[in-house]
Amino acid sequence: MGLDITVMIVDWSWLGEVEERRRQLAYAILDGTLISIDRVADQKPYYSGKHKRHGVNVQVIADAAGGLVWASPALPGSAHDLTAARAHGIIDALTSEKVMTFADKGYQGARGSVRTPFKRRRFRPELSRRQKAVNRAHAKIRARGERAIATLKTWRILDKLRCCPRRATAIVQAILVLHHVESPRYEG
């Protein structure tokens, strides 16, 4: 009757990459995506109520040109984007490196260097013209981040993962490496 203790080792080596690329980034775009998976035995944490399907949540950082910079380890699909970003230390890392970051309304309340669009409130049903103009400009910038996620999802294996969800991280990281080998954007 031995006790099985699993030690989780967190790889923080990507922080050095963020520092190195910070000088090359005018700003970063942070967004999350759900990668569909088959149902698993312990399905509750992997079910996304927003998307109404099972999946894993992956956070993506894109550069100003819409290129993939970094993809996070996969979390269960029920994790909210802001929770996932905080769990990976993305917001703190980008804020400490003073990288202006644009994100969608799912990251509202992130603070630091993360900028989100204005949101309507119950007591203020209409946004001002200035707020609407800012939101339009913000959406134009964030569209490049959506392009980065589309680049990631062009890999057919990510249509629907039919393996253990714990392997999703390795698959996404392998795709990211292949993407950087295929199209080297940062040449020093």
Q: What is the pTM of this model?
A: 0.77
Q: Which domains does the chain have, with CATH numbers?
A: 14-116+132-182 (3.30.420)
Do the beta carbons of residue 78 and residue 48 sit within 8 Å?
Answer: yes
Contact 58, 72 (CB under 8 A): yes
**Residues 127-176 pLDDT 10s:** 999 999 999 999 999 998 888 888 888 888 887 878 777 888 888 888 88
Q: Which two tokens stand for residue 127?
A: 């946004």
pLDDT in tens, 29-77: 999 888 888 776 677 777 776 777 788 889 999 888 888 888 899 888 7
Give the contacts of 37 (CB within 8 A, at least 6 positions apart). Answer: 46, 54, 55, 56, 77, 160, 161, 162, 165, 168
The number of angstroms, rounded, from the C-alpha of 186 to the middle of its chain's C-alpha atoms is 20
The dihedral formed by the CA atoms of 81, 86, 75 and 3, expressed in degrees to the nearest 10: -150
Question: What's the CA gap between 91 and 127, in Å, rounded?
Answer: 27
